[in-house]
Amino acid sequence: MDNNNNNNKKEEEAVSEEVAFPMSEFDGWNNFGDDDDDIINQKSSIHADEAKKVPFLGDKEPLSSLAAEYQSGSPILLEKIKVLEVQYAAIRRTRGDGNCFFRGFMFSYLEHILESQDHAEIDRIKKSVEKSRSALQSLGYPDLTFEDFFALFLEELDCVIQGKETSISHEELVLRSRDQSVSDYVVMFFRFVTSAAIQKRSEFFEPFILGLSNTTVEQFCKSSVEPMGEESDHVHITALSDALGVPIRVVYLDRSSCDTGGVSVNHHDFMPVDGDLPNATDSSEKKNPFITLLYRPGHYDILYPK
Catalytic hit among 2, 97, 184, 242: 97
158 flagged as catalytic: no
The angle at the Cα of 151, spanning 148 to 154, to the nearest 5 degrees, equals 150
Distance of CA 115 to the CA centre of its chain: 19
Q: What is the 3-state secondary structure (H, E, C) of the chain?
A: CCCCHHHHCCCCCCCCCCCCCCHHHHCCHHHCCCCCHHHHHHHHHHCCHHHHHCCCEEEEEECHHHHHCCCCCCHHHHHHHHHHHHHEEEEEEECCCCCHHHHHHHHHHHHHHHHHCCHHHHHHHHHHHHHHHHHHHHCCCCHHHCHHHHHHHHHHHHHCCCCCCCCCCHHHHHHHHHCHHHHHHHHHHHHHHHHHHHHHCHHHHHHHHHHHHCCCHHHHHHHHHCCCCCCCCHHHHHHHHHHHCCCEEEEECCCCCCCCCCCCCEEEEECCCCCCCCCCCCHHHHCCCCCEEEEECCEEEEEEEC
Catalytic hit among 234, 236, 267, 299: 299
d(CA 36, CA 38): 6
100 flagged as catalytic: yes
d(CA 77, CA 85): 12
Catalytic hit among 2, 38, 100, 301: 100
299 flagged as catalytic: yes
Positions marked catalytic = 97, 100, 299
